[in-house]
Each structure stands twice: as C-alpha cells, then as structure tokens.
Structure 1
Amino acid sequence: MRLLVDRRVPAAPRLTPAGERILAAASTLFYEQGIRTVGVDAIALAADVTKKTLYDRFGSKDRLIAAYLEERDRAWHRFLDEQLASRQPETPEAVILALFGALTDWLAGSRNGCGFINASVELAAPDHPAMPVIVGQKQWMRAEFEAQARAAGFTAPNELADRLLLLHEGALITYRVAAMPSAPEVATRAAQDLLTTWPRT
C-alpha cells in the first residue's frame, strides 16, 4: 500500500553553495533555538556568509523561514516514503498506523517536537509567507488519513480523519510540552483502538 494524496510540496529550489549553507544553518538554528530568537547575524555567521549574501539569496528572514519549513516538509515526506517502504503495510489501516508509527523514529533524539507546530506558535501573523506551508502540511496529513479511511471502507471517513489528526498532532505537542517520550506510541495504540471499533460501510 502507498500514500494516496498528492503531496503538493514545492520542488527544492536551485541554490548556490552559499545558499545551501544558509538554508542548512537556518534550519538547524530555527529548529533548535526558535525562529524569533535567531537573527540573521547568527545565521550568516553559522553559514560563513555576509548578511548581504543572505538577503541576496532569500530576500528576507521571513522568506528564509518559509524556505526552512518547505525543506522540512520535503524531508518529512521523504521520511514517510522510507518508512512505508520498510514497513510494507498491506492495507489502508496499516498505512494509517504506519503514519503514526513513523513519529517514534522521526522524533528520536529530538527535544523540540514538531517544527511546524513550533513555527505556528511563533509566527502570529496569518499573512506570514510561512503560514501556507504550515497549514498545507497539516491539511495534507488530514487528507491522507481521510483517503486511507475511505479506501478501508470506514463510515464517515471525514470524521475519522479529524479524530486521527487530533491524535497525531496531540502526540507531537505532548511529546514536547509534557516531556512525554512515549507520546507517539500511546497515540499509535489509541489510533489502533479507534480503527478497531470504527464502523464500516
């Protein structure tokens, strides 16, 4: 079985070596220290470039934030492809549980949880260029849950998708905020219970 919903993630931009260093440095700093606390001076220093080069490549810090999240989205989808290839789920229900199970490996060794959720808290402005990336990533997760639920023959697949997304995102938040390392495993078990009891058409 495979993922069913097209992932409309922008293709990776063509960057110069300096641009690649800037994006890599920003990605590490933004995720580890927070978007608002990291300034362009720190990013330029870590990337061994001037601020002028940073602005030449990305235009603004806000655009760099959006580029960071777009690359994180691409990384997440590549990771899911690898997870499904290794787990080889044979039914839509197994795909859903594999999406939950992937959280354990994705979060391994990380203290900071979901970069998209973290960014959404820090970026209060709804018109920030990164917000469509954040919203789109979560909408895709919900759409994939619904598509798999529909393929499995569950009734009210939209309602089931809503509940699965709440479990999935709740695990990400609880992992960090409540310092609960087992949150992905608990969410996976809860999703399995939900799928076991949900009626079918």
Structure 2
Amino acid sequence: MPPRDPALARDKALDAAEELFYARGIQSVGMDELRGASGLSLKRLYQLFPTKEQLVAGYLARRDEHWRRRLAEHVARQRDPRERIPAVFDWLEEWFGEDDFRGCAWINAYGELGATSALVTEQVRAHKEAFRSWLAALVDAAGLPAALTGPLFLLAEGAMVTAGITGDTRPAAEAREAARVLVTAAGPDGISRPSPTP
C-alpha cells in the first residue's frame, strides 16, 4: 500500500529520484519510471512535486544536507584544526571509492539542466557556496590565511570532476598532497612565506 503520511510519501519519492537521477542522469529518467521505483501513483507524485524540475530541486536539496553532514562528521574526528583540512580529502577519497559513485550530483545536474532551469541552478550554487563557506570556517579555525579557501575549494572541486570522469580515487590523494603543501607554506603561525630560492 502506498504511504498515506505526506512526509513518508515525500521521502519515498526523493529516495527513488536520488537513486535513479544520480545513477543514470536526470533527463534519461521519466516520471513513469519514478512512479514505479517509488511505489507511488503518478497522481501522488505530482501532488508532492507538481513538476519534474521541483522533484530534481528537492532531490538536490536533501542530498546536500546528507552529503555535508557526512563530510562534517568525518572531519570533526580530527582534533588538530590543521589536520581537518587534509581530512576533507580523506573523506573525498572514501566517497570516490564507493561502488555507486558517479561524480558530483550538483555538477552533473548543472551540466544537464543549468542552461534551462533557474531552480536547479539555484540549488547547485547554494550547495557550492555552502561547501566553500564551510571550508572557509575550517581555514579560519586552523589560523590560516583566508586566501587559502579559494585554492582548497578548487582542489576539492577539481578532484570531484576528475574522479567522476576517471572512476579513480587518485584525484583525492593528489589534491590532499597539494592541500598539505599550501598549509605548510602558510607556516605554523598562518603567515605565508615565499619558497626559498636555490
């Protein structure tokens, strides 16, 4: 029997959307297929999400909460604030190694719909801005220059794109080593120093 509780029905719809959209792409999955995977009627699906675009936005918003929580929980295990920065890349390496890893859901969604859906673009930008702000807080807590936030963000994002394409975990390890170089170059007191000339 389909769930009568609206919250449970919404979760079932989002579970089906996340599984299918992330594995196969958004445009290749139709509402009929989502109906079958969720166990909800098409009428119920459209009551919950009047358009497919709204379902995509809902999927991305919920995935954002789960993704950032998993990352933050992993990083928080490190007591040394400076070790929390490489821990970001440790977690990315674990994520890249998961059997169902298909790259960054937000980059994938933007690639499919960014040119045509303002709602999807808004969700993607909100996720990336939240991730960058969280990295900025890590940098600040470690006593490092705020200017490191941008390069660290780009290292993480580049690793996600590359791992999504190659299906390899190495981009996370390579990005982690580059992050360590940046943190070390900042010095123990957070002041960046030039590399010694030969």
Counterpart of 1:132 in structure 2 is 122
Within the alignment, does 1:101 sit opposite 2:61 as a pair? no
Deviations 1:41-72 (A, max 9, x none): 11011112221111101111001001101111
Does the alignment pair 1:163 with 2:151? Answer: yes
Alignment pair present for 1:31 and 2:19: no
Please list, as runs of the form range in 1=range in 2, the aligned pairs for 1:64-79 lying within 5 A after superposition: 64-79=55-70
Measure the CA separation in 1 of the matches of 2:30 and 2:125: 24
Distance 2:100 2:137 in 1: 30
Identity %: 34
Aligned to 2:103: 113
Could you tell me which residue of structure 2 aligns to residue 196 of structure 1?
A: 184
Q: Which residue of 2 aligns with 1:7?
A: none
Would the alpha carbon gap of residues 76 and 111 (structure 1) be closer, same or farther in structure 2, given more than 3 Å must change?
A: closer
Q: What root-mean-square deviation, in Å, do the aligned CA atoms of Structure 1 and Structure 2 show?
A: 1.9
Q: Distance in 1 between matches of 2:118 and 2:107?
A: 15
User: How far did 1:169 drift?
Assistant: 0.5
- Superposition deviation, residue 126 in structure 1: 6.4
Q: Tell me, which stretches of 5 or more residues in structure 1 are unaligned?
A: 1-13
Deviates more, 1:188-197 or 1:163-172: 188-197
Match of 1:53, as an amino acid? R
Picking from 124, 137, 143, the partner of 1:153 is: 143
Read off the aligned partner of 1:139 and give its amino acid letter: E
Q: For the residues of structure 1 that align with 2:73 and 2:134, how far apart are their CA atoms?
A: 17
- Tell me the TM-score normalised to structure 2 length: 0.84
**What CA distance in whole angstroms lies between the structure 2 residues aligned with 1:141 and 1:150?**
14
Runs of 5+ consecutive residues of structure 2 not aligned to the other structure: 192-198
Structure index of larger Rg = 2
Distance 1:112 1:72 in 2: 14
Q: Is residue 62–residue 128 contact of structure 1 (8 Å, CA) maintained in 2?
A: no
Conserved? CA contact 2:75–2:84, under 8 Å:
yes
Aligned length: 184
Query: For the residues of structure 1 that align with 2:155 and 2:116, how far apart are their CA atoms?
Result: 25
Partner of 1:37, secondary structure, is coil
Contact 1:175 1:182 (C-alpha < 8 Å) held by counterparts: yes
1:178 and 2:166 are equivalent in the alignment: yes
Specify the alignment match of 1:122 in structure 2: 112
Tell me, in whole angstroms, the C-alpha distance in 1 between the residues paired with 2:142 and 2:7.
45
Query: In 2, Cα distance between the equivalents of 1:99 and 1:125?
Result: 30
SS in structure 2 at match of 1:18: helix
Q: Partners in 2 of 1:57 and 1:49 — Cα distance?
A: 10
* Shift of residue 143, structure 1, vs aligned partner: 1.6
Asked if the contact 1:114–1:173 (Cα under 8 Å) also holds between the matched residues in 2, the reply is yes
